[in-house]
Amino acid sequence: MNELVKIGEHEISAKMYMGQRVVTFKDIDTVHERPEGTARHRFASNKERFIEGVDYFVITPKTLENTELDAERPIGIEAVSQRGTVLITETGYLMLVKSLTDDLSWKVQRNLVSSYFRVKEVVNRDLSPGLQLLKGLVNEMERKELEDKERDRLIALAQETANKAVETNERIKEEFITPFDNWRDDVNSKVREIALKAKIPYQNLFGEMYRELENKAGCDLATRQRNKQERMRNSGCRKTDIDKETTKIAIIGDDKKLKQIFDDIVRRYAVKYVA
């Protein structure tokens, strides 16, 4: 049967992990008399401020299966979620409840810290000097191991971030280096790809790009369309040919300056949404 510790008007089971006392979200809600889920919500809202391995641990059934040392096995934990059970350390608890300032919270915080988290300090004072020294050495080894694990995690995270940055730079470089060989078809294909990634309707995206082109180049594509249509009609061109050769993308393709500006616009959108 698990050891029970009375905190205020409530009792919680004593839990140990990695050589230190820990609590669950449910424990915190219980002793602070808060609705279930309050502590979990506060943790989720500020998770970037908590350091795993220092302020909290996450254990799963797989974690338990791979645990080789008895000292690393959780004590007093009856069930572990498949998605992961979060265990809060003393520092994590103090960060989590720092905004709770009612009278009950102050009392519970003092009680929980002195009677629950720091119970080992009382036990240690009763040990012989030799055992205290040995225990101190073990604690120092545990602290060093946790620091090493955190350092390795940060190094791995930094390496992953660097690798992603290199991949992104390569994709950006490819977007700007790869030429549009069959200009109209390649531009249409690239804009469709951007529209899919950006979740913007294809025609809406083209309209946005056309307006940006007109602003940058100081031109009116609709006027150029009408002028070219008139010229082709006067030359006796068929309607199908006129329709094909007077689209806005065709008008842009006729002008080297507009073509270059539109190229840059399409590639910039590709970098933003695709790279």
Q: In the structure encoding, which two tokens stand for residue 154, read together?
A: 């940060």
**How buried is 30 (Cβ within 10 angstroms: 0-12 exposed, 13-18 middle, 19+ buried)?**
buried
User: 55-93 pLDDT, tens per residue?
Assistant: 999 988 877 676 554 556 678 777 788 888 999 998 888
User: Is the pLDDT at 122 greater than 50, yes or no?
Assistant: no
Q: Which stretch of 178-182, 184-188, 202-206 has the lowest confidence by average pLDDT?
A: 178-182
Give me the chain's average pLDDT, please: 80
Partners of 56 in beta bridges: 52, 88
Cβ contact 217:231 at 8 Å: no
In this prediction, residue 169 carries a pLDDT of 59
In the three-class reduction of DSSP (H, G, I as helix; E, B as strand; rest coil), residue 50 is classed as: coil
CA distance 72 to 87: 13
User: Is the pLDDT at 163 greater than 70, yes or no?
Assistant: no
Most distant pair of Cα atoms in the chain: their distance:
109
Tell me which amino acid residue 267 is: R
User: Is the pLDDT at 232 greater than 90, yes or no?
Assistant: yes
- Each residue of 53-85: b (16+ CB within 10 Å) or e? eebbbebeeebeeeeeeeebebeebeebeeeeb
In this prediction, residue 134 carries a pLDDT of 65
CA distance 265 to 193: 14
CA distance 264 to 234: 34
Specify the higher pLDDT residue, 208 or 18: 208
Cβ neighbours, 10 Å, residue 168? 12
Tell me which amino acid residue 131 is: L
